[in-house]
Amino acid sequence: MASGPSLDSVIAAVDRALRSVLAPAHARRPAPGSAPGSTALGSSPPAEPLTEAERRASAALMRVNHAGELAAQALYHGQALMARSTATRDMLMAAACSESDHLAWCETRLTELGARPSLLNPLWYAGSFALGAATALLGDRASLGFVAETERQVEGHLDEHLGRLPAGDQRSRAILETMRAEEIAHGAEAAAAGGARLPAVMRALMRRTARVMTGTAYWI
């Protein structure tokens, strides 16, 4: 069993936080649909360009997803810092790497849409990091259960966004579909590793908190 975080771990966590919030995101993997002939990121534009109204709608949704991916990284970073076991910490950091790719894909798409990320990103990161660290203090089973429930809720959120995206925005759609599949995998892995199912009141509180963040990030 691992003891509390070392000074090196705390310094590394601060460094990750500054990089996540202030530095441009960099993906370790190619963007979804970037193969030749695809209609997703890295390929030719769709045959029918988005109207101005469609562009604004897609940009607002992708800003929400960008904020969500930043918050997901912060949750994993906070949980990893306070994890009891090395195995749990390694699992959380591997998931955070995947979320880093998602963040970069969303950031690239926002740039393509001529839009900016949420102005409240530092707040989303700080709050999510604190929540992740606090959850981890309850033990690894609770922490992994929090991951599993978070990913279940993110799956529903992405389903909603896929239904709201303009039909012609295949670039954003490819990103969200890949993100959805990977979020489901993260949740399944956390549950299989022993994540405890959270009480109903906590699940409801998580949904309410997420609605506040996504509703705010849509506009700000």
Residue type, 185: A
CB contact at 8 A, 189 and 76? no
Burial of 34 from C-beta contacts in 10 A (0-12 / 13-18 / 19+): middle
| CA 107 to centroid of chain Cα atoms | 12
Work out whether the CA dihedral 57, 62, 63, 65 comes out positive or negative. Answer: positive
| Dist CA 123 CA 127 (whole Å) | 6
Check residue 159 and give its pLDDT: 94
Check residue 29 and give its pLDDT: 83
**Domain covering 7-19+70-219, topology:** Ferritin (1.20.1260)
Check residue 62 and give its pLDDT: 94
Domain range annotation of the chain? 7-19+70-219
| Dist CA 26 CA 123 (whole Å) | 21
Residues in the chain: 220
Question: Per-10-residue mean pLDDT for the chain, 220 residues long?
Answer: 66 70 75 55 53 94 92 87 88 83 92 92 88 88 88 90 93 93 90 84 80 82
Check residue 184 and give its pLDDT: 92
Check residue 23 and give its pLDDT: 64
CB contact at 8 A, 91 and 149? no
Check residue 36 and give its pLDDT: 44
CB contact at 8 A, 125 and 66? no
pTM of the entire structure?
0.82
CB contact at 8 A, 9 and 2? no
